[in-house]
Amino acid sequence: MIGRLLHIGARAIGLLGLAAYERLRRTPPDRSCLPRRARISLERLGPTFVKLGQTLSLRRDLLSERWLDELGRLQDNVEPFPGAEAQQAVEEAFGQSTEQLFATFETKPLAAASIAQVHRARLHNGRAVIVKIRRPAIRARIDRDMRALVATTRLLIIIAPRLERLQPLRLVDEIWANLRKETDFRQEARNIRRFNEAFRDWPSLFIPNVIDDLQTETVLVQEMSGGTGIADPSVDGPRLAEVLVDAYLNQFFVIGLFHGDPHPGNLFVTPDGRLCFHDFGLTGYLDNRTRRALAFFLQAFVSGDPLWMLDSAIDLGLLHQVDDRSAFIRGIDEILADYASLPLKDWSLAEAVLRVAHLGPDDKVMLPQNLVVLMRTLFLIESALRTLDPDLKILDTLLARGRDVMKRLLSDETGNGGRARLKAEAALAAHDLPGVLAAFLRRLQSDGFHPAIIVRHEGLETIEAHLDRTGNRLALALVTLGLYIAASLLMLHSAGPRVLGNVPLLALLGYLLALGLSFRLVGAVGRSGRL
């Protein structure tokens, strides 16, 4: 552990030194060597840090495009573990031999990554499957490396306190928790089953299902699937683009669970023309409030309504500190003006979400994980849609095909932003009104039909805090004054033992204590900036 900690610490301090050197030389960001050196360091630190870098490549809310591009180059170029170990892991997971479980099992892996590797197999009923096997001891290695990273991060904060505003410890804890989830294949199996159930009746979509009773924390057996990449010119791009839009509208606004990694390697077309999703290790979750906020943000963006966009961004969690609404509205106006000069097919909801998030202060609260995954997913969806159909008007298509899915959230019109918002908000209020009235009547009945009147005072907590501090300072001032008077009386009457020649000891102690309290009182007033 100590050796690993020293290795990680040496790499981190080296990167910090390079950052300080470039800062002193005022190296332009586009010429900085730091992103490339960071990627190389992560690769040399091993699989845990490769996954760490890949996770950081999702953080468009924190990192620049240059960092994202460099971290996006991190690949799971790791040696596969021996086939005998894979067989042993399968047998330990299910308590049966591979001969009992499968008609055939290929010991040579089909693919290997930092967390797991995949083997081909065939069940006794002839069904082709893939077997995803977690690397032996990878969970213990992740925990060891992440504990060392936490210790290193604490040290770096001491060396460079400015790093604390980026909340690095919170980020490390979040990544650690997500890595632990990713190494538990039971969660991935639940996700696959849920998606499969949700899209059971979709003839244009295929999701390879999990094999019953063949999934544990360390091993996952899934249907074998294959096909053509979405960039292949032989596929029916425009039709598949509509399928992809419909699938994600359903995921965002109906299921509330969405595939978070729709890059070209995880999307392909089956021989019978169906769009196939693969790899459900990264998924995102949207609760009802977030789904509504996302739907309203989309319509506000198309309607060109900056006020509505601001409110939706706050509800969505993109913005947290909105003390000066006018400044944020001006920023959103600029974003809308930029898009107004572009053809509609070049509009990007993903980019708009990111730009609005960046309107917050530099030390803003870090975005929650579900929004990070959402932003990444939106960028990847738009990229996939433009691959399938370069002329697709993405926002128009989202609204046109999403009205049935989002009819409780969105209006049927996208013309006037004010009327569209009023209709959508009124529909939402009407939907929630019965529940609100029922809760009110229940409270009224509990109170014996004597309604309590609740008065809210904005800023009351701040006023209470000021009054509390003022009272404490007055009390301290009175105690200090009393000490000065008591010490002066003791001095006049020369009461008690004497020190320093002829000075009464009790009077001296009283003056010193009063003087100390005076300094404390003056310091408190000075820090407040008010006399």
Report CA-CA distances (Å) from 510 to 244, 474, 495, 516: 80, 19, 12, 10
Cβ burial 288-303 (10 Å sphere, 16+ → b, else e): eebbbbbbbbbbbbbb
Q: Please give the Cα distance from 240 to 387 (Å, whole number).
A: 10
What residues have CB less than 8 Å from 372, skipping those under 6 apart? 58, 59, 60, 61
Tell me what pLDDT residue 496 has: 66
Assess if residue 247 is contained within a domain: yes
Q: Return the pLDDT at 32.
A: 85
Q: Are residues 466 and 450 in the same domain?
A: no
Domain shared by 495 and 438, yes or no? no
Instruction: Give the separation between CA 335 and CA 313, rounded to whole angstroms.
Output: 14
374 and 233 within one domain: yes
Asked if residue 115 belongs to a domain, the reply is no
The count of structural domains within the chain is 3
Both tokens of 438, joined, read: 């029922």
- Per-residue pLDDT tens over the stretch 101-140: 999 999 999 888 888 899 999 999 999 999 999 988 888 8
Rounded average pLDDT over 62-71? 78
Indicate the pTM of the whole model.
0.67
Per-residue model confidence as pLDDT tens digits over 340-383: 777 767 778 888 888 888 887 654 556 777 888 888 888 888 88
Cβ proximity of 276 and 238 under 8 Å: no
Would you state the structure tokens that stand for residue 360, as one six-digit string? 């917050």
275's tokens: 């769009």
Question: Is 483 within the bounds of a domain?
Answer: yes
Distances (CA, A) of 427 to 311, 416, 433, 442, 494: 17, 17, 10, 24, 84
412 pLDDT higher than 60: no
Whether residue 300 is found in the same domain as residue 255: yes
Query: Does residue 437 fall inside a structural domain?
Result: yes
Say yes or no: 433 and 490 in one domain. no
pLDDT reported for residue 130? 92
In this predicted structure, the answer to whether residue 393 has a pLDDT above a threshold of 60 is yes
Average the pLDDT over 185-202 and give the result: 91
- Separation between Cα atoms, residue 447 and residue 202, nearest integer Å: 51
Q: Give residue for tokens 């509509």.
A: 242
Same domain, 323 and 425: yes
Q: Grade residue 414 by pLDDT with cuts at 50, 70 and 90.
A: very low
Of residues 86 and 59, which shows the higher confidence score?
86
Do residues 301 and 438 share a domain?
yes
Please identify, among 421, 454, 487, the residue that sits at the C-terminal boundary of a domain.
Answer: 454
Cα→Cα distances 367→58, 241, 313, 375, 515, Å: 11, 29, 12, 10, 48
**pLDDT value at position 344?**
65
Average pLDDT for the chain: 80
380 shares a domain with 470: no
- Specify the 3-state DSSP secondary structure of 429: helix
Q: What is the pLDDT of residue 406?
A: 61
The boundaries of the domain holding residue 516 are: 460-528
- Residue 464 in this model has a pLDDT that exceeds 90: no
Of the residues 396, 420, 454, the one at which a domain ends: 454
The answer to the question of residue 514 being in a domain is yes
Last residue of a domain, one of 434, 454, 474: 454
The residue-averaged pLDDT of 268-280 equals 89
Torsions phi, psi for 283 (to 5 deg): -130, 160
pLDDT at 14 over 90: no
More confident residue, 394 or 310: 310
Which pLDDT does position 413 carry in this prediction?
42
What's the average model confidence in pLDDT over 299-322? Answer: 84
Does residue 211 fall inside a structural domain? no
Q: What pairing do the DSSP bridges indicate for beta strands 283-285 and 257-259?
A: antiparallel
Q: Are residues 449 and 503 in the same domain?
A: no
List, in order, residues 6 or more apart from 395 with CB less than 8 Å away: 298, 301, 302, 344, 347, 349
Q: Are residues 435 and 471 in the same domain?
A: no
**Same domain as 515, residue 399:** no
- Domain assignment present for residue 52? The answer is yes
Whether residues 383 and 298 share a domain: the answer is yes
Query: Which residues are marked as active site?
Result: 261
Amino acid at position 211, single letter:
I
In this structure, is residue 318 part of a structural domain? yes
